[in-house]
Copies of this chain bind each other. A is one copy, B any other.
Amino acid sequence: MINKVFSAKQLDEKDPLFNKAEAFSLPNDTIYLDGNSLGPLPINAEKRASEVVKEQWGEGLITSWNKHQWISLPQQVGDKIGTLVGAKQGQVICCDSISINLFKVLSAALKMHPERKVIATTRNNFPTDIYMVQGLLDLLGDEYSIRYIDENHVGAQLTDDIAVLMLTQVNFRSGLKLDMKDITEQAHNKGILTLWDLAHSAGAFPVQLDECNVDFAVGCTYKYLNGGPGAPAFIYVARRHQAAYKQPLSGWMGHSSPFSFSPDYVPDTSVKQNLCGTPGIIGMSILDAALDVFDGVSLKAIDEKSKKLQAFFIAEAKRANLLEELKVVSPPLDNRGSQIAFAHEDAYAICQAWIAQGVIADFRAPNILRVGFAPLYLSFADVEKAVSSLATIIKEKHYDQDIFKQRQSVT
């Protein structure tokens, strides 16, 4: 048994973010290690949900589009997100889903690079990213193709026939974190436009879109940004590209003058062109309020605490002799996002047993137990309890080994 250097209690006492958990409405007796799938409910967001439904919609009716500025909400929320991903004002807008936003950016980027016909991405990217490329290319015809590159040594695989390089900064399964600055620079050296998916980045650690000279980015808001289930996504178009940018989902809200009802589409010349249909105001209002939990908190502090939580989890797991059975398949701490992936042949069953004990983590096929660390509401004491519970489950085989086979036959 390895002795602890610091106890959970000591670590919590030194934690400058410790009190932030009060900003969330978390269920009792639950340790939540799945904020990287769906962040919990911020108390602010709960209040705003009631306000937007009862007061703004119920009382204000149609007049709330102006009175409560629903009409400018996508930009307002976009700029708030911008401050969390290193983007100066006017480059981020909140709209639609990541999938749809990828389609917009990819289409626009191909138009900006008419002589190039290749979109490059990693084969182990999150499936929807790949699917959206496949759907677009199927529509555009045989002239275009997708090229799969390996997530290691991306730079060495870049060639000057690639129009767009689409990468997810943090791999959803392993947590591998790519070097945004270096890869973007190498892509630019080959004349390639970059599109970064920030699904597992935004709100988890400092992202520097402007500083890294990124061209385009998309991201979701229901993970580390705690915007709620299926909350609207966002899109970043670097200011230098906005004039040339033209995306094909040209709905009326992206028109330069939507309420003139002119018969021809004239794209807005700002990031607002990414709006398409009428935005879902209730979901976006809730997200707007949810983002306020980041007020006065630096992403650097969040990142530092995440690294400490992760290290503490690993240390505790090691102390409990768990790491022989539960194999860490994530890269080292400095090369991964705010999550750890463990491989175990019974990962699904273990995950279910852990959930039954009040510790919510996630399973990713075929054999990954995925543990997410969201420093705004997770304490070191939580981690200690979670590992202790996991140790009991694994050591004493307190789980149903057949459960995964059952599940497989259902899906």
Contact = CB atoms under 8 A, between A and B. Distances in A.
B131 A281 contact: no
A103 B230 CA distance: 21
The interface centre, meaning the residue of A34, A250, A253 with most chain B CB atoms within 10 A of its CB, is A250
A251 B282 contact: no
5 contacts: A100-B251, A130-B263, A135-B248, A135-B265, A228-B281
Copies of this subunit: 2
Interface stretch (A8-16, A62-70, A388-396): A62-70
Contacts of A38: 57, 61-62, 65
Interface stretch (A80-88, A149-157, A357-365): A357-365
Interface string A46-70: 1001100110111101111100001
Contact of A278 (B59, B63, B230): B230
A133 to B, nearest CB: 9
A40 interface: yes
Interface stretch (A91-99, A201-209, A297-305): A91-99
Given A282-B282, A411-B257, A99 B58 contact: no
Given A38-B65, A99-B251, A140-B140, 4 more contacts: A41-B54, A41-B57, A96-B96, A126-B252
Contact of A99 (B37, B53, B252): B252
A172 to B, nearest CB: 9
Interface string A242-266: 0000111111110101111111110
A32 interface: yes
Interface string A209-243: 00000000000101000001111110000000000
A40 to B, nearest CB: 6
Nearest to A45: B53
A131 B265 contact: yes
A132 interface: yes
Given A251-B128, A252-B127, A278-B220, A46 B40 contact: no
B49 A61 contact: no
A23 interface: no
Contacts of A56: 229
Given A255-B127, A278-B222, A62 B37 contact: yes
A257 B277 CA distance: 28
Contacts of A364: 261
Interface string A130-163: 1110111011100000000000000000000000
Given A45-B53, A100-B96, A220-B278, A132 B250 contact: yes
A277 B128 contact: yes
A252 B280 CA distance: 21
A358 B265 CA distance: 35
Given A34-B61, A46-B58, A229-B70, A286 B282 contact: yes
